[in-house]
Amino acid sequence: MIKEVISNSNFWLGLTVAIFIFMSVYPSIEFHTSCPDARIDQSGNESCIHLKGYLWEVVSVLSLGLDGDGSALSASVDEQQHRNLVPVMTAMIIILFYQKRKG
């Protein structure tokens, strides 16, 4: 069962599309979402900051450590410097060529 899913190219295409959507949308959501005020809710503020930082690390890893791709949709410095969609788009193109070749 698991071997069939892993060897299925549609699974990998769907996964790369989901990653692409996440990497495209998350920077704008993060930029426009404010954490709770630290004076009112200190633990909520810390949790929010840690979660945002963790998700930015995920975006940076998925960008393969490359600098920004120049297509920032928000004024976020993190997006301009740490998000690069080229590796994910390249993976999608490779999978699509593989599917076309496979028939």
Q: Which long-range contacts (CB under 8 A, 24 or more apart) does 56-61 make?
A: 56/30, 56/82, 59/22, 59/23, 59/26, 59/27, 59/83
Q: Is residue 1 part of a domain?
A: no
In the chain, the percentage of residues whose pLDDT exceeds 90 is 17
pLDDT (0 to 100) of residue 73: 64
Place of tokens 């976020």: 76
Q: Is residue 35 part of a domain?
A: yes
Q: Is residue 48 part of a domain?
A: yes
Q: Is residue 10 part of a domain?
A: yes
pLDDT-derived band at 63 (thresholds 50, 70, 90) equals: confident
How far apart, in Å, do the first and last CA atoms of the chain sit?
Answer: 22
pLDDT in tens, 34-60: 888 889 989 999 999 999 889 888 888
Total number of domains in the chain: 1
Q: Which domain holds residue 84?
A: 6-102
Q: Is residue 44 part of a domain?
A: yes
pLDDT in tens, 85-95: 888 889 999 98
pLDDT (0 to 100) of residue 78: 67
Residue 53 exposure: Cα atoms within 13 Å on the Cβ side: 6
Mean pLDDT of 13-21: 91
